[in-house]
Chain A
Amino acid sequence: MSKTLSNEQMLALAEHVENAELQAHDITKVTNDYPDMTFEDAYDVQWEIRRRKEERGNKVVGMKMGLTSWAKMAQMGVDTPIYGFLADYFSVPDGGVVNTKELIHPKIEAEVAFVTKKPLHGPGCHIGDVLAATDFVIPAVEVIDSRYENFKFDLVSVVADNASSTRFITGGQMADVSDVDLKTLGVVVEKNGEVVDVGAGAAVLGHPASSVAMLANLLAERGEHIPAGTFIMTGGITAAIAVEAGDNITVRYQGLGTVSARFE
């Protein structure tokens, strides 16, 4: 895969897409203007958005994986997931409030997050490496918000848009990976007191730790790695569920407590 964007085009796209996020307005997908854009171009845009945030004083507090269900990948005609980063202001406390005025058309996904205690380097990173390098797992709910009109995008566009990252809520009960079966770990999503979706860990690439291994391998393509102490959201166990002001959500995790938030 190669680059098709000039440096100026890449910088301009990063500003354009990040402004949509910061100003909470939607835009047409970037591949409308640059139909030949590659994944490498798109990750260049994403890393430039990350650099812009860090330059302004924001911290990167973790990473996220997206498109981690085999069904979704088959639908989109690809065989690898995608990643994005999490900035400090994405974090919402458990039981806290998500301000929908700062977002465009948010959806939530129930996930399991990993915190590493050793660095992970690809290529060739596998599930065993990940389990050995994991400090603990913790439940987390991701709020995603595509900056693209009607949540309609292709993969290259969504990579440039930081994999639709916007907010996340972390639970309070951690566990050693040796104490939970992450494949069969069940989650129950309740919106306004009603069960709206259920799933189990295997929905994420067969096992959520596979998702972390894939992240290490994807980062290696850019000469990057996962440092010790990294917080990683592994991808949605459930479908993305649309939320709006006035909604409250609670996600119940087998053996890992609950995570909740309200949207105002």
Chain B
Amino acid sequence: MQFGIFSVSDVTPDPTTGRTPTEGERIRAMVRIALKAEEVGLDVFATGEHHNPPFVASSPTTMLGYVAARTEKLILSTSTTLITTNDPVKIAEDFAMLQHLAEGRVDLMMGRGNTGPVYPWFGQDIRQGIPLALENYNLLHRLWREDVVDWEGKFRTPLQGFTSTPRPLDGVPPFVWHGSIRSPEIAEQAAYYGDGFFHNNIFWPATHTKKLISLYRRRFEHYGHGKADQAIVGLGGQVFMRKNSQDAVREFRPYFDNAPVYGGGPSLEEFTRETPLTVGSPQEVIDRTLGFRESFGDYQRQLFLMDHAGLPLKTVLEQLDLLGEEVVPVLRREFAAKKPAHVPDAPTHTSLLAERERATTNTEAQ
């Protein structure tokens, strides 16, 4: 089981001080947070991609490349890479380059983006979101697996005899997750390819999230990639912790009440009851997270949202200490003890390479 954090890269005023970090401060804070993730023993750092204020993460591979140079073990990922508005050719190139620089410590998560105005800035139309995600990913998938591609589709100019360079490291494309919070088409897509499926698990009650994950698992089996319980599932989650539950609630409340995404909506109490948000002690976070397994089955990746809503860097780093010292070690132990042997771990470059070599040896043996 992999544990990590995902950032949306928002520049939000700290409601307790009124101070807004500069873009430069926020970018450096994200890097500091990524490095801290490795220090405290987490497995994954994922950055979002946005092309409008108040977000800074418009260029994920630049940031991840920098983080790659300063880390040893951390897997660098995205949450999400916009498969709708980016040219799939550029995604193929950028992430293959990153994969080489990071020596395989790279995977990525496809997402559509739900901000209507962004699409036309990149020559697209949000009403074509699903077809764009389907066609573009299909092309990306081919670009990483076929050395020379002839291709013609609906949304981009045709390719004749095109080779995307660099070729993926060791000829093994980065593992891909598909993120969606409500689209059965995307669960179907992830299942078809045998890729991972990620639900951000933030705003939705478990009953909804479960429908989408069950669909993905069922179709993963249908397309012959393994049993439903062997499908590769990732979940988000958001937590705020202090040793004492009451301290966590008191400290987090102003951030919750003023955050652009929650403010004016449900109360903190309603939100923690109806969604996976946990504000409390490390033990409460452990219990809630173990509960995800009860709801959705054995899964492979758990990412937490930690640096958002204007929380100061110092606080986020303290949260990461708690996560790394008190929460994740227990979760690793508990999840490992509960996971049946036939349920795989999340694929990594190493495991995919080994798998391919096994397949090649088998073919040669025949």
Query: Does A pair with B?
Result: no
Taking Cβ atoms with an 8 Å cutoff, the residues of B that contact A are none
Taking Cβ atoms with an 8 Å cutoff, the residues of A that contact B are none
